[in-house]
């Protein structure tokens, strides 16, 4: 089962079920107008969506226009991003010249959730001097999770898996980190690949509550990295439990893995520019790779060993934001 959202002029779009080849779709119907409604009523919605998926497998459906796809979840109540890849955390300490964070708990922050860019939306930025960076990662969408849920029980609350580009502004990040109040300006809206899928749909690509797929990243048409999501130090179940330690999680909460990163970065590359710059600092004493410029493209696509691409691709261009004139 693959779920997507067609643009229809509303903030949440129209929920549709898409065939395996991403060529045809069926509307989820008036009772399930959008994915947020579906995830809030997953107990009954899942069977309806699975039945539509079976119809698509039998050849039913309307032609799908990929250009009309928004993010599968265009907005939600909450976006929580972890940093579950230890290699990435170690390299970021080098990149930002920051001391190690002494904790055995997952790292997590609450980000902007009122919008997620669609997979081909141009992404506006006010100033390239802010250090525009992409961050390829995976995420999960949960149903309602009660406060105090254990990691063992949290796994059952993971209903859908998504692929995310967590845009970052790197020259602003260290300033906000030092305040101790968290990120606001350094973390604009994220992007999502076009399809959300249940964990079971990933087959062997879902292992131990981790996405065991390569995240293939190209920057301006050149290969940048293909790190695998299996290297998470904390599983998604552990991230969900951490987020729910002192509060309920509302249905539709999105929880991210943080930038996909592998210890074998010399051979598999990276999923963000800042990590590559840290590697350059370690090797040469200074970074050589610049951050993104206006007009740059980034493409991200998770791939299985069999060549499957369950989430589809994020393929976006950085554009200059149109800012209001000073009064």
What's the pTM value of the predicted model, to 2 decimals?
0.95
pLDDT score recorded for residue 296? 98
d(C-alpha 84, C-alpha 108), whole Å: 9
Dump pLDDT digits (tens) for 79-129: 999 999 988 778 877 766 777 777 788 889 999 999 999 999 999 999 999
Residue 33 · residue 81 · CB < 8 Å: no
Write the Ramachandran bin of 121: left for phi over 0, alpha for psi from -120 to 50, otherwise beta. beta
Rounded percentage of the chain residues whose pLDDT exceeds 70 = 99
pLDDT score recorded for residue 92? 76
The predicted model gives 278-284 an average pLDDT of 90
d(C-alpha 208, C-alpha 191), whole Å: 25
pLDDT score recorded for residue 288? 96
> In this predicted model, which residue has the larger pLDDT, 293 or 103?
293
Dump pLDDT digits (tens) for 220-258: 999 999 999 999 999 999 999 999 999 999 999 999 999
Rounded percentage of the chain residues whose pLDDT exceeds 90 = 86
The predicted model gives 172-177 an average pLDDT of 85
Dump pLDDT digits (tens) for 3-17: 999 999 999 999 999
Nearest to 303, CA basis, from 163, 119, 198, 185: 163
Give the domains, in start order, of the chain with CATH numbers: 2-68 (no CATH), 79-320 (3.90.850.10)
With a cut of 90, say whether residue 164 has pLDDT above it. Answer: yes
Write down the mean pLDDT value for the chain: 95
With a cut of 90, say whether residue 43 has pLDDT above it. Answer: yes
């Amino acid at each position: 089962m693959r779920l997507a959202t067609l643009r229809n002029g509303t903030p949440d779009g129209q929920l549709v079920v898409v065939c395996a080849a991403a060529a045809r779709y069926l509307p989820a119907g008036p009772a399930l107008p959008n994915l947020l409604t579906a995830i809030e009523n997953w107990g009954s919605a899942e069977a309806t969506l699975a039945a539509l998926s079976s119809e698509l497998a039998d050849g039913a459906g309307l032609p799908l226009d990929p250009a009309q796809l928004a993010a599968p979840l265009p907005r939600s109540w909450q976006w929580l991003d972890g940093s579950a890849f230890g290699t990435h955390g170690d390299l970021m300490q080098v990149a930002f010249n920051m001391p190690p964070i002494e904790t055995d708990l997952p790292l997590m922050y609450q980000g902007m959730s009122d919008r997620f860019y669609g997979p081909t939306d141009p992404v506006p930025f006010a100033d390239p001097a802010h250090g525009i960076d992409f961050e390829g990662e995976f995420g999960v969408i949960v149903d309602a999770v009660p406060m105090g849920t254990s990691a063992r029980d949290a796994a059952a609350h993971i209903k859908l898996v998504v692929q995310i580009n967590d845009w970052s502004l790197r020259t602003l990040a260290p300033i906000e980190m030092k305040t101790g109040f968290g990120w606001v300006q350094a973390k604009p809206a994220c992007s999502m690949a076009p399809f959300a899928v249940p964990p079971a749909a990933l087959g062997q690509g879902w292992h131990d509550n981790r996405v065991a797929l390569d995240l293939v990243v190209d920057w301006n048409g050149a290969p940048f990295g293909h790190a695998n999501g299996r290297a998470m130090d904390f599983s998604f179940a552990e991230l969900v439990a951490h987020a729910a330690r002192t509060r309920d999680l509302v249905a539709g909460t999105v929880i991210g893995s943080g930038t996909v990163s592998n210890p074998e970065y010399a051979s598999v590359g990276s999923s963000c520019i800042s990590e590559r710059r840290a590697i350059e600092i370690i090797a040469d004493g200074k970074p050589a790779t610049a951050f993104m410029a206006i007009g740059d493209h980034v493409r991200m696509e998770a791939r299985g060993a069999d060549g499957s691409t369950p989430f589809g691709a994020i393929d976006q261009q950085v554009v200059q934001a149109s800012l209001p004139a000073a009064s």
